[in-house]
Amino acid sequence: VAFDGRLSAPGQVCNITVDNYDGGVQMGTHFREQGYTRALCVTDSRTAVDGERVQGFRSALGGRTVELLEAPTESQARRQFYESHLDQLRSYRAIFALSDACAAELMVFLQEKGLRVPEDLAVAGFDDSPLCRQVYPPLTSVRQDQGERARCAVELLQRFKAGAEAAETITLPVTLVKRRSTVGRLQQRWGRLYP
């Protein structure tokens, strides 16, 4: 049993993944509803799942501009990268980081540079990890149900132990969780804050 596996010949491997494309669609739709017409996707990974997230995000924004910025994977190098791309980051009003860790780190960096989230720049992530509620403002994210993934994995392993042989891919749904990091100024004035 694999999580997010990309196997050309799966054999007896079952792959459990989430609907990364739909997660991107949900985030792009949310940004569009908030009035954002262009956005930046930031990643520190070249995985296939990140590509699916970007494709979904782009499709939801229609013909609007979505640019991809690939940051280094090492923390110190990533911070230097953000420093060297600060003007580019400032030129956007909305950023979709393709993981919560990347989003939270980027949000802190932007706040250190005097940018207010979400008033100057909306920031969102993917995974809905506990980190989303530990940063300020709380981070909008796409939730993937880790408990359900684990339950599916255990069920598949039990089926294999009982003699099942069919390989399959299970794609689990995701859900957008709206929080304050992407709420527009007008919504804040009228008191419609998200948790």
- Both structure tokens of 25: 């669609």
pLDDT digits (tens, 9 = 90+) for 49-73: 999 999 999 999 876 688 999 999 8
135-169 per-residue burial string, b: 16 or more CB within 10 A, e: under 16: bebbbbbbbbeeeebeebbeebeeeeeeeeeeeee
* Residue (of 103, 108, 142) closest to 123 by Cα position: 103
pTM of the model: 0.87
- pLDDT, tens digit only, all 195 positions of the chain: 677 766 666 567 788 889 999 999 999 999 999 999 899 999 988 788 999 999 999 999 876 688 999 999 898 999 999 999 999 999 999 999 999 999 999 999 999 999 999 999 999 999 999 999 999 999 999 999 888 888 988 888 888 788 777 677 889 999 999 999 998 654 544 444 444
Amino acid at 10: P
Q: What kind and span of H or E run contains 95?
A: strand 94-97
For residue 65, list its beta bridge partners. Answer: 38
Contact 3, 149 (CB under 8 A): yes
* Residue (of 51, 124, 128, 53) closest to 94 by Cα position: 124
